[in-house]
């Protein structure tokens, strides 16, 4: 293979995911009061007993029981045990017939290290809810791409289980509703809405499979077999603590991989603590980056959705058909995500 052909193959390969559009997705069973939820630490270990206790009480308030993975409190540097130990917790939770759903305690780093150790055939035969965000993106996309199992980008165990987050969690995972997500419109004592505003990049509506997650983690999966095919998708992403130049670099990466051309629509959530720095030579803003990379593609796109490292968040099913309205900033799911 000559150098030109090699480079062309490298450029195309990341856009070729494992799960084709025609491959049948698998929906897990809905969660019901009395079900047992498995709590696992696939990345960083649990640090605070009080935080874990709040997590347990929150699940109990939802009518759910909890069972901990064996290595939740184990520590191997910044990880909750070795890769094999953390993967075994996840495999055991999927294999355990008494467990109806799996909730990740929190993220950190380390989930991508588990992907070669997961038993995908067993997971496919024992479908159940798996939910988390941030570093958990690696598991959500990896398992979906390898099995077709719908996974869920949503609150982790250590999240703030406020009314907004709980209502969206229950509507998707317990009530099996085909919901329409819309940001809160709270004016308060202001003249107009100042918080959680939607910003339209390109007007219009688009339909497709919801695919995405944390932008940094997703970008580091590109080129592997653990990334799905983004053709005809509604691509969503979010991030935290990333300066504009880093966001620019990652969106450029996705553009070069063909993701932006393949998608039907784009939803950006929140980029927490991603403000322009104090560099002496100035900086692009996130708005500039959307103008440079997203607007020229002319596909329905908007920013500001309640997705990300925030206290009030949506639960987003990965692999489910949805329609976005970029002018209204809404996400309407066209089918239920659980059986």
Average pLDDT over residues 123-144: 98
The three-state secondary structure class of 79 is strand
pLDDT of residue 278: 55
Given a contact cutoff of 8 angstroms between Cβ atoms, the answer to whether 160 and 32 are in contact is no
Q: Which of 58, 88, 134, 233 is catalytic?
A: 134
In degrees and rounded to multiples of 5, residue 126 shows phi and psi of -130, 60
Q: Which of 156, 238, 321, 323 is catalytic?
A: 238
Domain ranges of the chain: 36-173, 179-333
Residue 204 CB-half CA count within 13 A: 14
Average pLDDT over residues 278-302: 90
- CATH fold for domain 36-173: Rossmann fold (3.40.50)
Residue 242 CB-half CA count within 13 A: 20
Q: Which of 145, 242, 309, 323 is catalytic?
A: 309
Residue 171 annotated as catalytic: no
Predicted confidence (pLDDT) at residue 20 exceeds the cutoff of 60: no
Residue 224 annotated as catalytic: no
pLDDT of residue 23: 66
Residue 309 annotated as catalytic: yes
For the segment 140-176, what is each residue's pLDDT rounded down to a tens digit?
999 999 999 999 999 999 989 999 999 999 999 999 9
Query: What is the rounded average pLDDT for all residues in the chain?
Result: 93
- CATH fold for domain 179-333: Glucose Oxidase; domain 1 (3.50.30)
For the segment 64-90, what is each residue's pLDDT rounded down to a tens digit?
999 999 999 999 999 999 999 999 999
For the segment 239-285, what is each residue's pLDDT rounded down to a tens digit?
999 999 999 999 999 999 999 999 999 999 999 999 876 555 689 99
Token couple for 31: 């969660």
């Amino acid at each position: 293979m000559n150098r030109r052909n090699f480079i062309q193959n490298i450029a195309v390969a990341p856009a070729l995911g494992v799960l084709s559009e025609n491959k049948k997705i698998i929906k897990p069973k809905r969660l019901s009061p009395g079900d047992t939820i498995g709590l696992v630490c696939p990345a960083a270990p649990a640090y605070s007993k009080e935080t874990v206790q709040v997590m347990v009480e929150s699940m109990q308030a939802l009518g759910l029981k909890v069972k901990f993975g064996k290595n939740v409190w184990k520590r191997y540097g910044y990880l909750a045990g070795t890769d094999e130990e953390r993967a075994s917790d996840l495999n055991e939770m999927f294999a355990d017939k008494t467990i109806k759903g799996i909730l990740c305690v929190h993220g950190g780093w380390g989930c991508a290290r588990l992907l070669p150790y997961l038993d995908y055939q067993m997971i496919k035969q024992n479908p159940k809810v798996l939910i988390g965000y941030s570093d958990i993106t690696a598991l959500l996309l990896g398992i979906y791409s390898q099995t077709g199992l719908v996974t869920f980008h949503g609150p982790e165990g250590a999240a703030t289980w406020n009314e907004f987050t709980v209502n969206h969690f229950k509507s998707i995972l317990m009530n099996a509703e085909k919901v329409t997500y819309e940001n809160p419109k709270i004016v308060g004592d202001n003249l107009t809405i100042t918080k959680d505003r939607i910003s339209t990049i390109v007007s219009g509506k688009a339909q497709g499979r919801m695919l995405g997650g944390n932008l940094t983690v997703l970008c580091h999966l590109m080129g592997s077999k653990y990334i799905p095919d983004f053709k005809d998708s509604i691509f969503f992403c979010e991030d935290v603590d990333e300066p504009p130049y880093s966001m620019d670099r990652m969106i450029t990466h996705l553009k070069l991989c063909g993701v932006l051309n393949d998608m039907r629509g784009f939803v950006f959530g929140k980029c927490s603590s991603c403000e322009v720095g104090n560099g002496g030579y100035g900086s692009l803003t996130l708005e500039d980056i959307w103008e440079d990379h997203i607007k020229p593609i002319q596909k329905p796109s908007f920013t500001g959705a309640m997705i990300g490292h925030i206290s009030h968040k949506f639960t987003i099913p990965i692999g489910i058909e949805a329609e976005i309205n970029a002018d209204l900033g809404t996400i309407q799911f066209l089918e239920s995500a659980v059986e």
